[in-house]
């Protein structure tokens, strides 16, 4: 309750007490009926009045406390389930949801696909341009991921530069379509971002069908192996996905990262690649 409301309430109480004291000292005749107010009524009246006020304040305090508890509960739930940097589900929540979707898929004989996504050369970006730039790259790619998937799909950050995408009621072809959509978004991003590196990812997709006898662990291992196979193939270069195919990568020699590449870290040339002449 604000200060103005408190002043208003106190002034009303004082005015009422003065009125009762004055009326208690005189006799009034209203419609020929003599009304006599005696002073013994005053304590009873004040007791009732203060009881009402105290009840009101107690109820208000209880409601305010309940509202704060609800707000804190929502805040704790957010911290327990979401990754603050990327605004995606965290690892614990992502795996929990995957387990639930896997059980539902087996029960209702629906398709289910999962995809491991790993950001390429994030360590090079961190080492060359700083962790602030690396964090920005993580946020930008996570935003492209979230805008590429369907509303029913789940994106969770598994930690560091790795994400897990859950595709409920979706086969491998549908998941590949989403990743091609991501590739197109990354192509546009690389054209307009004017960065001295290319944002790119390696990924592996694994699908579960209605007649599949594999376990959830088998599904994850397959997706993980495919992702690392793609990452090994693209190790040491910054590449860009094409929309024409899932593995059609365009390599620009200007952005090739080799062992003999020097990343200038001076303030003026922090974002320039210089090839050492052999």
CATH of domain 90-275: 3.30.70.270
Backbone angles phi, psi at 27, to 5 degrees: -110, 130
Higher pLDDT, 230 or 1: 230
Higher pLDDT, 37 or 61: 61
For 91, other C-beta atoms within 10 Å of its C-beta total 15
Residue owning tokens 């307009």: 192
The ranges assigned to domains in the chain are 3-81, 90-275
Q: How confident is the model at residue 278 (pLDDT cuts 50, 70, 90)?
A: very low
Digit-coded pLDDT (tens) for 2-28:
555 655 566 666 666 666 655 555 444
- With 90 as the cut, is the pLDDT of residue 258 above it? no
CA-to-CA distance for 237 and 248, rounded, in angstroms? 14
Judge contact between 179 and 115, C-beta under 8 A: yes
pLDDT of residue 43: 59
Q: Which of 112-116, 127-131, 172-176 has the lowest mean pLDDT?
A: 127-131
Backbone angles phi, psi at 51, to 5 degrees: -65, -40
Q: How many residues does the chain have?
A: 278
Query: Nearest CA to 124 among 269, 265, 267, 248?
Result: 265
| Local structure of 30: helix, strand or coil | strand
| Local structure of 7: helix, strand or coil | helix
Residues of the chain with pLDDT > 70: what percent?
59
Judge contact between 239 and 198, C-beta under 8 A: yes
Structure-token pair, residue 192: 């307009």
Structure-token pair, residue 84: 């603050």
For 155, other C-beta atoms within 10 Å of its C-beta total 21
CA-to-CA distance for 263 and 274, rounded, in angstroms? 7
Q: How confident is the model at residue 118 (pLDDT cuts 50, 70, 90)?
A: very high
- With 50 as the cut, is the pLDDT of residue 225 above it? yes
Q: Cα–Cα distances in Å, from 69 out to 74, 75, 76, 78, 142?
A: 9, 10, 10, 14, 31
| Local structure of 184: helix, strand or coil | helix
- pLDDT, average across residues 130-137: 93
CA-to-CA distance for 54 and 50, rounded, in angstroms? 6
- pLDDT, average across residues 99-115: 92
Burial of 191 (0-12, 13-18, 19+ CB in 10 A): exposed
The per-residue pLDDT of the chain, averaged, comes to 74
Q: Which of 30-34, 141-145, 265-269 has the lowest mean pLDDT?
A: 265-269
- 215-218-224 Cα angle (round to 5): 145
Digit-coded pLDDT (tens) for 140-169:
999 999 999 999 999 999 999 999 999 999
- pLDDT, average across residues 210-216: 82
Structure-token pair, residue 277: 């002449």
CA-to-CA distance for 116 and 91, rounded, in angstroms? 12
Q: How confident is the model at residue 54 (pLDDT cuts 50, 70, 90)?
A: low
CA-to-CA distance for 139 and 88, rounded, in angstroms? 10
pLDDT of residue 71: 72
| Local structure of 261: helix, strand or coil | strand
- With 70 as the cut, is the pLDDT of residue 32 above it? no
């Amino acid at each position: 309750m604000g200060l103005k409301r408190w002043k208003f309430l106190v002034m009303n109480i004082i005015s009422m007490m003065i009125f009762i004291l004055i009326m208690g000292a005189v006799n009034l005749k209203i419609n020929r009926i003599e009304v006599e107010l005696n002073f013994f009524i005053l304590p009873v009246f004040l007791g009732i009045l203060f009881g009402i006020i105290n009840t009101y304040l107690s109820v208000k305090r209880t409601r305010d406390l309940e509202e704060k508890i609800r707000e804190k509960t929502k805040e704790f739930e957010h911290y327990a389930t979401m990754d603050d940097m990327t605004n995606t589900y965290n690892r614990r929540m992502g795996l929990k949801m995957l387990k639930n979707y896997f059980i539902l898929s087996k029960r209702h004989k629906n398709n289910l696909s999962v995809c491991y996504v790993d950001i390429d050369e994030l360590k090079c970006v961190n080492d060359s341009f700083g962790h602030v730039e690396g964090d920005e790259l993580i946020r930008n790619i996570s935003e492209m991921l979230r805008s590429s998937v369907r509303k029913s799909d789940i994106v969770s950050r598994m930690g560091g530069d790795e994400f897990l995408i859950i595709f409920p009621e979706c086969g491998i072809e549908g998941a590949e379509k989403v990743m091609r959509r991501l590739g197109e978004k990354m192509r546009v991003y690389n054209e307009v971002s004017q960065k001295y590196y290319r944002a790119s990812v390696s990924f592996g997709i694994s699908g579960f069908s209605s007649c599949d006898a594999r376990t959830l662990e088998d599904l994850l291992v397959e997706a993980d192996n495919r992702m690392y196979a793609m990452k090994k193939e693209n190790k040491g270069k910054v590449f860009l996905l094409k929309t024409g195919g899932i593995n059609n990568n365009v390599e620009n020699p200007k952005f090739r990262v080799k062992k003999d590449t020097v990343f200038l870290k001076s303030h003026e040339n922090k974002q320039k690649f210089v090839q050492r002449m052999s």
